[in-house]
């Protein structure tokens, strides 16, 4: 941060007050602060600190799970372990960054910035939460509706997400050279079995492609249409078009083949 200029800090206690501050020119939201480390701050005149707002809640009912936007990754993990030890969010967020950063990175900031270290977006794309915004465009949005419209975060504040409290079998994989490297891609799979080799539902998301993140809807439909065999997975995967740039872990073609290999392994592991 440039110490040669003065940046005003505000600590609103209500969401209404925070939304009002967002209209100030050059205002930025400050949650965990990790996103600001990579931001260009030369035009920032105002920081809106969220620590006093009532958006750090976690609640669960038989029907839904609600997570406040100010909760850190570590807090989310700790809360979920009390109710759902095999949640895909636990597995994914435990891989994100390192422990000190997981204590700082917030849910809302990771949705807004989608930083490379977050490991959050793949699981959210399969869990399909509703995202609550307050501000100029107040409302409830699907995660895929706002992730492609980054400008919406300039005048709105994420307050929470809510998703159905359902039991899924889950698989999460991140491709990287070491545990601390950014992932070349991640794979998120959740499914519900009908019988040993048939499904009532399956959702698959992959990050790191040229489109940044994708749901494999057509592939999901084919897998849900009948009995699944290893041979059928291979046939269906041939029609899955994954387009990668060259990665530190290999060429685009190599990355595509590795991704498809782990998609198959993930599905088969959940069918066992």
- Note whether 65 and 156 are same-domain residues: yes
Give the range of the structural domain holding residue 232, as residue numbers without chain letter. Answer: 169-271
Residue 2 inside a domain? The answer is no
257's enclosing H/E stretch is helix 252-271
CA dihedral 16, 77, 271, 190 (to 10 degrees): 10
Per-residue buried b or exposed e for 185-206, using 16+ beta carbons within 10 Å of the residue's own CB: bbbbbbbeeeeeeebeebbbbb
With beta carbons less than 8 A apart as the criterion, state whether 105 and 118 touch. Answer: yes
147's enclosing H/E stretch is helix 143-147
Looking up residue 117, the CATH number of its domain turns out to be: 3.30.465.10
The mean pLDDT value for 85-100 works out to 92
pLDDT at residue 25 greater than cutoff 80:
no
pLDDT at residue 115 greater than cutoff 80:
no
Q: Which residue did the predictor score with more confidence, 126 or 28?
A: 126
- Note whether 173 and 154 are same-domain residues: no
Residue 194 inside a domain? The answer is yes
Number of domains the chain is built from: 3
Cα–Cα distance measured from residue 141 to residue 47, given in angstroms and rounded to the nearest whole number: 25
CA dihedral 107, 110, 116, 117 (to 10 degrees): -30
User: Residue 65's pLDDT band (boundaries 50, 70, 90)?
Assistant: very high
User: Residue 64's pLDDT band (boundaries 50, 70, 90)?
Assistant: very high
The mean pLDDT value for 133-142 works out to 96
- Note whether 173 and 153 are same-domain residues: no
pLDDT in tens, 188-240: 999 999 998 999 999 999 999 999 999 999 999 999 999 999 999 999 999 99
pTM for this structure? 0.93
């Amino acid at each position: 941060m440039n110490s040669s200029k003065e940046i005003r800090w505000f600590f609103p206690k209500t969401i209404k007050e925070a939304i009002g501050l967002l209209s100030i020119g050059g205002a930025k939201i400050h949650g965990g602060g990790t996103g600001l480390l990579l931001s260009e701050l030369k035009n920032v005149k105002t920081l809106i600190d969220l620590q006093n707002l009532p958006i750090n809640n976690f609640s669960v009912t038989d029907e839904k799970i609600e997570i406040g936007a100010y909760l850190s990754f570590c807090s989310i993990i700790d809360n979920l372990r009390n109710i759902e030890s095999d949640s895909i969010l636990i597995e994914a967020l435990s891989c994100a960054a390192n422990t000190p950063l997981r204590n700082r990175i917030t849910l809302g900031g990771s949705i807004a910035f989608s930083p490379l270290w977050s490991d959050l977006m793949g699981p959210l794309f399969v869990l399909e939460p509703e995202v609550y915004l307050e501000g100029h465009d107040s409302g409830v949005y699907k995660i895929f509706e706002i992730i492609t419209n980054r400008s919406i975060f300039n005048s709105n504040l994420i307050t929470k997400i809510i998703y159905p409290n359902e039991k899924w079998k889950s698989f999460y994989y991140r491709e990287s050279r070491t545990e601390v490297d950014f992932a070349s891609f991640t794979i998120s799979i959740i499914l519900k079995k009908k019988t040993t080799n048939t499904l009532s539902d399956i959702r698959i998301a992959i990050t790191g492609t040229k489109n940044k993140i994708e749901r494999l809807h057509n592939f999901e439909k084919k897998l849900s249409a009948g009995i699944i065999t290893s041979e059928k997975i291979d046939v269906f995967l041939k029609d899955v078009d994954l387009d990668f740039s060259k990665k530190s872990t290999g060429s685009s073609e190599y990355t595509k083949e590795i991704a498809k290999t782990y998609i198959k392994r993930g599905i088969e592991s959940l069918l066992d």
